[in-house]
Amino acid sequence: MTGPSTTVSGIVQKYGRNKDMLIEILLEIQMGLGWLPREALAEVGKELGIPPTRVYQVATFYRVFRFTPYGKHRVGVCMGTACQVRGASLIRDKVKQILGIEPGESSPDMKFSLEAVNCPGCCAMAPVVTVDDECVGDLTVDGVENALNKCLKD
């Protein structure tokens, strides 16, 4: 994030240093960085005049906030109702096994990030995995590795 309107201070100023806008401030910072580094949370607290622990409490309450950077490839396993009914848990377990990480984590080499996602709107293709924002549907456990092949080879 560079430039006056994209720095933490610039974003806080944009919202008039209003403590009631904390969630919007955090969302905008995350949109720019892709995640919320600890340093950014501390700076928000300082800029708003509230304890950093309070900023952290608010941020950790909402699932939308991420505290680690994304890997090069983002893999999401849909855990919506249609996908659940058609075996999403088994698909998720297979993806975890292949990537060696849990949902919400990135691999140590920062090649992959895994997320359990809510419905991406492809219910007719359930169960669905998103790989770098591309939906791969009608998956079986045996087809998971093939769905991940492109990014596994990268």
Q: Tens-of-pLDDT digits for all 154 residues of the chain?
A: 444 345 899 999 999 999 999 999 999 999 999 899 999 999 999 999 999 999 999 999 998 898 989 999 999 999 999 999 999 999 999 999 999 999 989 999 999 999 999 899 999 999 999 999 899 999 999 999 999 998 888 8
Q: Domains in the chain: how many in total?
A: 2
Domain check: are 21 and 93 in the same one? no
Residue 149 lies in a domain: yes
Angle at CA of residue 52, ends 46 and 53, nearest 5°: 160
Domain match, 14 and 38 both: yes
